[in-house]
Amino acid sequence: MTTAEPLLLALSGEPAAGAAALQKAWSQGRVVALAGPGEQERLAEALRRHGSAAALGQSLAAGVPAVLLGSGGSAGERRWCLQPLRHLQASAAASARWLAARGLDPAACLHLNPLPLHHVSGLLPLLRARHSGGQVRWLAPALLRQPAALQEAMPLPPDRPAVLSLVPTQLARLLAEPAGVAWLRGCAVIWVGGAALPAELARQARAEGLPLAPCYGATETAAMVCALPPQRFLAGEQGCGPALDDVALQLAASDGAVEVRCSRLALGWLEAGGLRPLPRSPEGWWRSGDAGRLGAAGLEVLGRLDGAISSGGETVFPEQLEARLRAQARAQGLPLEAVLLLGVDDALWGQRLVALVRAQAGADAAALVAALQQLVAGWPAAERPQTWWPCPELAPSEAGKWQRGRWRDWWRER
């Protein structure tokens, strides 16, 4: 690594310009810190406090290009994760082999990317195209809210496979419009990750014959570590599929946490005046924050361990209950736009659930809450929210993740 401080790159303009600046810095052997909208000051402060060149140099050889990316679990904790470029390239190579195993020529693929570069899932399409000789095209996130305009702005070529990366929120917007469904049908593979794929979205995608490939990964693993092939998804299989060929997965015996072993784990996080190495077992396993199941079909993610609660002696995963509630509300025709279940301390139960609810535009929020309370009346006591709060501003992050710590603070303030 050079003696220069890490280059802080604020990504608020055209993605192509940000990608060009990033690649130039990498060619100079720089460490690049990627800041999304609103994060520049926060990341700059983290670099001042924790990320001196000397601290990072302890983990990188001279002239080794790398990137600092934000990573955070559902509890809201924000960490800045150091990934050498070679790890991102290894991830891109594993993705290319996965595509080839599906009968797709990676060099012919067109990688469509509506995700921001400061997220690892938005960075990898650039690396995948560079690795295999394919092309990458950037999709403005606003286009996903206007499927008819998307069809016109980004017609899919009939002579080369289009590979798309989405989060579930983006997929839901496209599935809601016939023009969006028609456009998705032109894709050869649609990787869906970043958050759990709701069962209703999976059902709609199967009904439309869309080649979804639900996947799982993290910033710390340089993105995707497993993916369900589209043919198996369309056949009705659940989960995120088997591990990629450079990855091993297992579950922790104590609590079922998903553990990953591979050669592309991050070097560590900025912390306490330096770089805290990524914790691993003596055998090289990194423990994620997710609980899961492993079976013949591969990995099924049950939910965040830091979001799970123990209520009346029962372990409850709020994400699963949210998905169930959304599906039942949809079946009843209730105007539910978003719901988030949070665990709060309770003297009798240990923890109980609080529900934050956003009604669809123009709907009566109080009437919706009353209907939802009736809907869950037959659920087990540990799974029924104790209190319900209308929250008009409730929404996930732009990457489709719920910042549970933020919304827990919102609830506490009230």
Domains parsed from the chain with CATH numbers: 7-84 (no CATH), 86-267+276-304 (3.40.50.12780), 309-413 (3.30.300.30)
Which residue, among 151, 141, 212, 211, has the nearest Cα to 180 in the 3D structure?
151
User: Which DSSP state fits 208?
Assistant: T
Query: What does each C-alpha distance from 52 to 21, 38, 49, 265 come to in angstroms?
Result: 21, 22, 8, 21
**Which pLDDT score, from 0 to 100, does residue 96 have?**
98
**Which pLDDT score, from 0 to 100, does residue 3 have?**
39
The 3-state DSSP class for residue 200 equals helix
**Which pLDDT score, from 0 to 100, does residue 272 have?**
67
**Which pLDDT score, from 0 to 100, does residue 77 have?**
56
**Which pLDDT score, from 0 to 100, does residue 210 have?**
98
Which residue, among 42, 38, 68, 41, has the nearest Cα to 53 in the 3D structure?
68
Pair of tokens at residue 238: 């659940």
**Which pLDDT score, from 0 to 100, does residue 230 have?**
98
| Pairing mode, strands 274-277 and 268-271 | antiparallel
* Rounded Cα distance, 142 and 287, in Å: 35
User: In the chain, which stretches have pLDDT less than 70?
Assistant: 1-5, 12-13, 50-62, 72-78, 272-273, 313, 398-399
Which residue, among 208, 117, 198, 199, has the nearest Cα to 165 in the 3D structure?
117
Q: Contact, 45 vs 270, CB < 8 A?
A: no
